[in-house]
Amino acid sequence: MQNPRDVKTVADAKRIVEERGLSHVKVGLFDNDGVMLGKYMSKAKFFSALENGFAFCDVILGWDSKDQLYDNVNYTGWHTGYPDAPVRILPETCREIPFEDGMLLFMGEFSEQAEALCPRGTLRRVIEKADELGFDVFGALEYEFFMFQETPESAREKGFRNLKPLTPDWFGYSILRNSVHSDLYHQILNLGETMDFPIEGIHTETGPGVIEAAITVDSAINAADKAALFKTFIKVLAQRNELMATFMAKWSGDYPGQSGHIHLSLRNKSDGKSAFYDPDQQNNISKIQRHFIAGQQRLMPEFLPMIAPTVNSYTRLIPGFWAPTDATWGVENRTTALRVIPGSDKSQRVEYRLGSADANPYLSLAAALASGLQGIINEWEPEEQVKGNAYEQQHSPELALPSTLWDAAQKFKQSSATRSMLGDDFVDHYAASREWEEREFRKHITDWEMDRYFEII
């Protein structure tokens, strides 16, 4: 029987569905916020869609993570009548869903006019720019996420307060915790193998119930697919175990935020060698890697809403909690926004540590890559590397990051670099979606405000 990983073509996709005797398959794609949306589709409809595409109502490009409709975008809205948007199915994304009795999942991406706004399509266009420059792109993402002994119902009954983490106390890298809960860890590892987002390493992080998982490196588009599926199906697996997983950037002021670090490297298409590795230079940093770092550093403030996409993202970016506050870089320095990891031809890379767990993997990877490519194109040089604790040092004002989602969105839409690398349609639409997110937040009264002002003011 055909293995899902061997599916590459339309014919392969049809063959594996027939071999498994499936009457339906699952089809999904990712929206602005990195949320996977989709449906079960009959075999006949799926076979037709493989050849001719199909359509989703374009409202999924025009609403937020709570299904509330944007009122400030041009592509879709009441003014367009919410027509269908065309979608292509990607046979090579075939996965088996292990707990659905042989069910297959295929991913799709928007096409035609909607492709300009599609997160996966946006990343693919940036990768094509790297290809034109003579580079193959490789990436890997790693995520921190909290697990709770809660269900969607219990969390809402509690008003998302006083939630019970899977495990108590601060206990990073704990063999005790991962041995006691080994059944869950093995389920995660097995899920990664079956669904082709293999886990390179997984361990407890510092904080109650927090886990960190590193996904194995792959070509950039595959790395983003793996990360997006990882986030989706970790939440599915948790709920099937009467647990909940959250990838919020910061769910409590008492604990560190949750990161979504991005590891990137370039290899020369001409000879297959690392474009980042030069053993004759200090820390093996090649000229190309130096320019790449410079681009990431200089443009980090402009690409920030793709890396920190929610109001909550900015609660994580404070000193002393393992999240950077300025666009700094250093060698093996975890207090900086960019961490150069010296190694061999195989392992020389840069870690974009600013990324938070709530980011859409396609867009965060696109931002990290696009900004680096701009550095190569313009042959920029980075600022002096930071040595020691970056939080305790003064940095150039140009390296300061916007402190709110609104400010980040303004910088993003005014940037010539974002427009040249991502396209005007995407920049305008995505900036509007982040402005909407901030406006929605302003409508609500927080617990902090009630506690601070209700009686005293």
Classify burial at 240, counting beta carbons within 10 Å of its beta carbon; exposed 0-12, middle 13-18, buried 19 or more: exposed
pLDDT in tens, 29-69: 999 999 999 999 999 999 999 999 999 999 999 999 999 99
For residue 320, what pLDDT is reported?
62
Among 298, 264, 303, which Cα is nearest to 377's? Answer: 298
**Beta-sheet pairing, 329-331 with 36-42:** unpaired
Fold annotation for 4-114:
Ubiquitin-like (UB roll) (3.10.20)
Q: Tell me which residues of the chain have a pLDDT lower than 50.
A: none
For residue 322, what pLDDT is reported?
63
Q: Is the pTM of this model over 0.95?
A: yes
Residue 288 · residue 268 · CB < 8 Å: no
For residue 237, what pLDDT is reported?
98
Domain ranges of the chain: 4-114, 126-450
Return d(Cα 91, Cα 1) in angstroms, integer: 17
Mean pLDDT of the chain: 96
Residue 411 CB contacts under 8 Å (≥ 6 apart), including other chains:
301, 302, 304, 402
For residue 394, what pLDDT is reported?
82
pLDDT in tens, 422-451: 999 999 999 999 999 999 999 999 998 999
For residue 318, what pLDDT is reported?
75
CATH architecture group of domain 126-450: 2-Layer Sandwich (3.30)
Residue 385 CB contacts under 8 Å (≥ 6 apart), including other chains:
329, 330, 331, 333, 336, 340
Q: Do domains 4-114 and 126-450 have the same CATH topology?
A: no
